[in-house]
């Protein structure tokens, strides 16, 4: 049986050398490589500025702080995301307000955002789930009318485009992750991309305790005193991380082509399996193809997941709806039924291997495993239903 790991990074010897060069220089922390990746990242996205930070979590948190969001404020976001999105809001003292998602994409529904706006709402955090962008033109209209900031969670969406809009074009800021499994990675890392020079200036001291000068500025010429000009946090990217990212950025488009080929092969195969659905990529959108998601009948999800693992296929669940996790339930009193689309997706989701290093044989093995497991499970469901005297077909949940 062919074993297909959930993820394998695509880093090369050249990437390792790029990092090792940094070790021969002075700046292990924020220095010339960080400045260079900031410029190249902004250039890749067609934006004016980027700020390198330690993670997408700190990117979101610092951007909220930079916009003055804190206790008493509300920030509208989606429950179909990684906890980092809403946790960043909680860390500022503001309250995350969840709204439901579109059933076909899993992305936040701009119509629901509009309904949730109150006098306390200050910002919206859309998450471009799996790599497919939220309808930013519609969301931007809604937010502009109410004077809300839009802070995009682009952890999945570096290469994404929708209706000619790239991440960061319509939002105030776009927050990226370079976590270990992301399309471009340095193990842990993040960045904030914006066209707003004032926001960029604030972020450059917010990521460094509020210090008015970086280490590079303090030590490369004559010593200069620094001041603390506000209360920031410690979240600056270092040059080792930056060197790894710089080395990968030139091949990001080529790797996306491979992701797209794999995504299309999965979709063609799963279209013919009744019990399997998958998210739609809307017309006019180019997905970053970060995660490949299938949706299976919720009552069978865990069994299908376990059987795929038995067949040596690496799987994950990104995500179960976060308002139903213990902390959020207990703190805010959320219950099942609050956000039905997010909940249905959360209990139907299985994430399959999706990375450029997958061989065609790996993709075939994953497809074959999904097909056989779904047949086995449909068969056992039918047998159980026969015994119970019911007639319950195994169909797609959505
Ligand atoms: C949608 C989403 N937002 C935020 C994050 C947080 O990213 P980081 O681990 O870089 O803080 C992740 C990480 O997986 C994510 O998937």
Domain ranges of the chain: 13-251, 253-387
Q: Is the CB of 78 under 6 A from ligand 1?
A: no
The pair of structure tokens assigned to 374 is 């779904």
Collapsed DSSP state (helix, strand, coil) of residue 208: strand
Q: Is the CB of 77 under 6 A from ligand 1?
A: no
Q: Is the CB of 190 under 6 A from ligand 1?
A: yes
Radius of gyration from C-alpha coordinates of the chain: 22
Collapsed DSSP state (helix, strand, coil) of residue 101: strand
**Residue 222: its pLDDT value, please?**
81
**Residue 294: how many other CB atoms lie within 10 Å:** 25
Mutating to test ligand 1, I would choose from 7, 54, 56 the residue with most ligand atoms within 8 A of its C-beta, which is 56
Secondary structure (DSSP) of 42-98 = HHHHT-SEEEEES-HHHHHHHHHHHTT--TT-EEEE-SSS-HHHHHHHHHHT-EEEE
Angle at 388 between CA 385 and CA 391, to 5 degrees: 45
**Residue 393: its pLDDT value, please?**
32
| CA distance linking residue 150 with residue 153, whole number of Å | 10
Ligand 1 atom at shortest distance from the alpha carbon of 188: 10
The phi and psi torsions of 213 (rounded to 5 degrees) equal -135, 140
Asked, as a colleague might, if the bond just before 229 is cis with ω within 30 of 0, I would say no
Residues 6+ apart with CB under 8 A from 64: 75, 88, 89, 92, 94, 123, 151
Q: Is the CB of 107 under 6 A from ligand 1?
A: no
Instruction: Give me ligand 1 centre to Cα 339, in Å.
Output: 21
- Give which of 86, 124, 131 is closest to 108, Cα–Cα: 124
Instruction: Give me ligand 1 centre to Cα 384, in Å.
Output: 40
**Residue 219: its pLDDT value, please?**
73
The phi and psi torsions of 289 (rounded to 5 degrees) equal 50, 45
Ligand 1 atom at shortest distance from the alpha carbon of 189: 10
| CA distance linking residue 116 with residue 98, whole number of Å | 9
> Do 98 and 127 form a contact (C-beta atoms < 8 A)?
no
CB half-sphere exposure, 278, CA atoms < 13 A: 22
Instruction: Give me ligand 1 centre to Cα 59, in Å.
Output: 10
> Do 259 and 289 form a contact (C-beta atoms < 8 A)?
yes
Instruction: Give me ligand 1 centre to Cα 81, in Å.
Output: 9
Q: Which CATH number fits domain 13-251: 1.20.140.10, 3.20.20.100, 3.40.50.2300, 3.40.640.10?
A: 3.40.640.10
The phi and psi torsions of 339 (rounded to 5 degrees) equal -135, 80
The pair of structure tokens assigned to 194 is 């914006």
Catalytic-role residue among 14, 169, 182, 383: 182
Q: Is the CB of 102 under 6 A from ligand 1?
A: no
> Do 221 and 72 form a contact (C-beta atoms < 8 A)?
no
Q: What string of pLDDT tens digits covers the 398 residues of the chain?
A: 899 999 999 999 999 999 999 999 988 999 999 999 999 999 999 999 999 999 999 999 999 999 999 999 999 999 999 999 999 999 999 999 999 999 999 999 999 999 999 999 999 999 999 999 999 999 999 999 999 999 999 999 999 999 999 999 999 999 999 999 999 999 999 999 999 999 999 999 999 999 998 777 777 778 888 999 999 999 999 999 999 999 999 999 999 999 999 999 999 999 999 999 999 999 999 999 999 999 999 999 999 999 999 999 999 999 999 999 999 999 999 999 999 999 999 999 999 999 999 999 999 999 999 999 999 998 776 666 555 444 333 334 44
Helices (H) then strands (E): counts for the chain: 14, 11
| CA distance linking residue 390 with residue 398, whole number of Å | 21
Q: Is the CB of 179 under 6 A from ligand 1?
A: yes
The pair of structure tokens assigned to 226 is 């620094």
pTM for this entry? 0.95
**Residue 386: its pLDDT value, please?**
57
**Fold of the 253-387 domain:** 3.90.1150
Ligand 1 atom at shortest distance from the alpha carbon of 60: 4
**Residue 336: its pLDDT value, please?**
98
Q: Are strands 149-153 and 121-125 parallel, antiparallel or unpaired?
A: parallel
- Give which of 162, 189, 202 is closest to 249, Cα–Cα: 189
User: Is 122 annotated in the active site?
Assistant: no
| CA distance linking residue 187 with residue 177, whole number of Å | 10
**Same fold? 13-251, 253-387:** no
Mutating to test ligand 1, I would choose from 7, 63, 64, 82 the residue with most ligand atoms within 8 A of its C-beta, which is 82
């Amino acid at each position: 049986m062919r074993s297909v790991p959930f993820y394998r990074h695509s880093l090369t010897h050249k990437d390792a050398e790029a990092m090792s060069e940094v070790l021969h220089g002075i700046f292990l922390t924020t220095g010339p490589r960080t400045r260079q990746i900031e410029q190249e990242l902004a250039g890749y996205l067609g934006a004016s500025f980027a700020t390198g930070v330690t993670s997408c979590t700190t990117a979101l948190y610092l951007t909220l702080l930079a916009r003055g969001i804190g206790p008493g404020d509300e920030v509208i976001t989606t429950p179909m995301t990684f906890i980092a999105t809403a946790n960043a809001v909680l860390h500022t003292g503001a309250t995350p307000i969840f709204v439901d998602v579109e059933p076909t994409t899993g992305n936040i529904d701009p119509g629901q955002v509009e309904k949730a706006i109150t006098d306390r709402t200050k910002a919206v955090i859309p998450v471009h789930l799996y790599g497919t962008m939220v309808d930013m033109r519609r969301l931007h209209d809604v937010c502009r009318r109410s004077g809300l900031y839009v802070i995009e969670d682009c952890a999945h969406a570096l290469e994404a485009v929708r209706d000619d809009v790239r991440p960061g074009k319509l939002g105030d800021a776009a927050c990226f992750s370079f976590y270990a499994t992301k399309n471009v990675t340095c193990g842990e890392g993040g960045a904030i991309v914006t066209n707003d020079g004032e926001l960029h200036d604030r972020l450059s001291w917010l990521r460094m305790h509020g210090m008015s000068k970086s280490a590079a500025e303090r030590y490369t010429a004559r010593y200069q005193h620094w001041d603390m000009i506000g209360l920031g946090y410690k979240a600056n990217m270092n040059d080792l991380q930056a060197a790894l990212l710089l080395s990968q950025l030139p091949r990001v488009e080529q790797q996306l082509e491979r992701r797209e080929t794999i995504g299309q092969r999965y979709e063609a195969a799963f279209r013919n399996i009744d019990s399997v659905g998958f998210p739609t990529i809307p017309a006019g959108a180019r997905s970053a193809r970060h995660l490949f998601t299938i949706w299976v009948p919720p009552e069978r999800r865990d069994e299908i997941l376990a059987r795929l693992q038995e067949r040596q296929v690496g799987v994950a669940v990104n995500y179960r709806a976060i308002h139903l996790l213990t902390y959020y339930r207990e703190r805010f009193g959320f219950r099942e039924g609050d956000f039905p689309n997010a909940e249905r997706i959360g209990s139907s989701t299985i994430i399959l291997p999706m990375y450029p290093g997958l061989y065609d044989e790996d993709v075939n093995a994953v497809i074959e495993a999904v097909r056989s497991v779904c047949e086995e499970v449909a068969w056992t469901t039918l047998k159980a239903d026969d015994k119970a005297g019911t007639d319950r077909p195994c169909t797609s949940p959505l």
